[in-house]
Chain A
Amino acid sequence: MTVCLDTVGAEAARPFIERANPEHPSLIDIAHVVDERFGVVNIPNSIWIDEDGIIVRPAEAAWALELAPADAADADAPPPASPDAAPQDAMGKRMAEMMGAASQIVSDRDRYVAALRDWAEHGAESDFALSPDEVIARSGRRGVPESTAAAEFELAQHLYRAGDHDAARQHFREAHRLHPDNWTYKRQAWSLEPSALEGSPMARFWQGPLPGKETDWAYEGDWVKDANAIGPANYYPRFKG
């Protein structure tokens, strides 16, 4: 099953779900309940649950097989030019930085998919099905800072949906400060800001200052800055056996 995490609501997910036309349950989580209950801190993430409802792998980076050539070409298509977004050279520079960081992200696609197939076939006998103690230990740290961040994020989402984006930003910033490793908190907040790619399918991936309006940016970090700070190769933790 899939769960779409987006404060914006179901309509943002609709084109993707309708195009995929899945046979599996495809759910909408506008309040990021899955983050809070299962420890999702970036997307895509997966959780494996056995026939008895016991988690055998907690939230971790999840990969699909390579896209079919037609879909891949579509996904890689450059965004349409936005002649109104000035200045163009600043926009081009930012695009290059984004693509540069994204190209360094390390995928464990083959290992992840092989492990998933192994579990599907062998169940509890699979080396990739973890013990309950290991599942709990790997589920992520949650002390007072992380829990307070979750409460801040919940307030931020509520205020955003209520139309008070300014108040929401204050709580998003607190969530980012208290739980800096949580990319979902950041990507969600950044994706609600104006984009230099407005109208493009890539619009919500801009996640940074508008060219020429850098001082207006509401957050300390942005996608390029934060991805480069940790090193894009560390953006997704490596798949552990």
Chain B
Amino acid sequence: MLITNKAIDRDEFERGTGWTLKPEGACRGEVCVPLPMGNADGGAIDIDAVAESLGMPLVRHSDALAALGPATFGGNVLATAEAPELVLPNLDGNPFDLASLRGKKVVMVAWSPY
């Protein structure tokens, strides 16, 4: 996720990374990673501490712009087989939530015009 501001609140972190902050830690599906005290319950989080717990490298472009890589602690792209959250717009800009297709089999095909 892009970081343009040192103070990141939990909503921003959850939207940007797909990890949910709960009392037991950062969770995705049934997998939860414990976090240093104070990061799971309040508003603003300590991005450096949370990034370290989840094995997320921080790449800095400038003082005002950096990016946080995805979690590496399990060594695989997926830490759980539960489909990650995904909300993307269609051609008209209307958001569509992958989770709205629960109850149906889904084949998600990634393509590009290049």
Residues of A within 8 A of B (CB): 1-6, 10, 12-18, 25-29, 33-40, 43-56, 58-59, 62, 116, 119-120, 123, 132, 135-137, 139-144, 146-152, 154-155, 158-159, 167, 171, 184, 187-188, 191, 204-205, 207
**CB-based contact A39/B77 at 8 Å:** yes
| Given A1-B101, A53-B102: A142 touches B109 (CB 8 Å cut-off) | no
Residues of B within 8 A of A (CB): 1-2, 18, 55-59, 61, 65-72, 74-86, 88-91, 93, 96, 98-99, 101-114
| Given A142-B75, A150-B70, A154-B2: A16 touches B113 (CB 8 Å cut-off) | yes
Q: Which listed residue, A3, A55, A140, touches B81 by the CB 8 Å rule? A: A55
**Interchain CA distance A188-B111 in the complex, whole Å:** 11
**CB-based contact B105/A120 at 8 Å:** yes
The 10 nearest A-B residue pairs measured at CB: A39-B77, A147-B69, A191-B114, A132-B81, A139-B78, A151-B69, A204-B114, A151-B67, A27-B88, A151-B59
Closest approach, in angstroms, between the C-beta of A84 and any C-beta of chain B?
22
**CB-based contact A5/B76 at 8 Å:** no
Closest approach, in angstroms, between the C-beta of B101 and any C-beta of chain A?
7
**Interchain CA distance A59-B86 in the complex, whole Å:** 15
Listed A/B pairs (20) with beta-carbon separation below 8 Å: A1-B108, A5-B110, A28-B90, A36-B70, A37-B85, A38-B108, A39-B78, A40-B110, A48-B106, A50-B105, A54-B82, A116-B107, A132-B81, A136-B76, A142-B72, A142-B76, A144-B57, A167-B61, A171-B61, A184-B112
